[in-house]
Amino acid sequence: MARGLSARSQLDEVSLRRHLGACLATCHVAVQFKNPAEVLRRLLGEGIRVSGIQLSAALRTGGSSASRVALEAILRAVYLNQVKARRPGGSISSHVDLRDARSRGAAPSIFMCRYFGMTTA
């Protein structure tokens, strides 16, 4: 319990912690270049209840032109959003989707993309 809180506030906190929790989405963790086990440990260490784990996919490729060509090949069939590009020095840039990353000239060593279903186009 947090120090300095009234009895009512402490009761509210207990109730919130009992009824609310986080859903750990593995894809969202992956596109942030985080380790899912470490994220889970941190959540639990902070007393945050994990009420669900969503097993979902992210695509990871190298930054080579062959990798970009491979992503381009599936780009028409799927929507790749929440794109992160990690450069060789370690900096990470965020992009709305793969088209945005491409138009901004992202030249990463690694791309991470959230896979999101089929498009109609």
**pLDDT average, residue stretch 38-47:** 93
**Do residues 84 and 60 touch, judged by C-beta distance below 8 A?**
no
| Residue boundaries of the structural domains of the chain | 7-54, 58-118
Q: What is the pLDDT, as a whole number, of residue 106?
A: 65
**Do residues 54 and 40 touch, judged by C-beta distance below 8 A?**
no
**pLDDT average, residue stretch 79-102:** 78
- Pick from 3-12, 98-107, 109-118: least confident: 109-118
107 has a pLDDT exceeding 90: no
pTM of the model: 0.58
How many alpha carbons fall within 13 Å on the CB side of residue 6? 3
Report DSSP state, residue 76: T
Q: What is the pLDDT, as a whole number, of residue 119?
A: 41
Amino acid at residue number 98: L
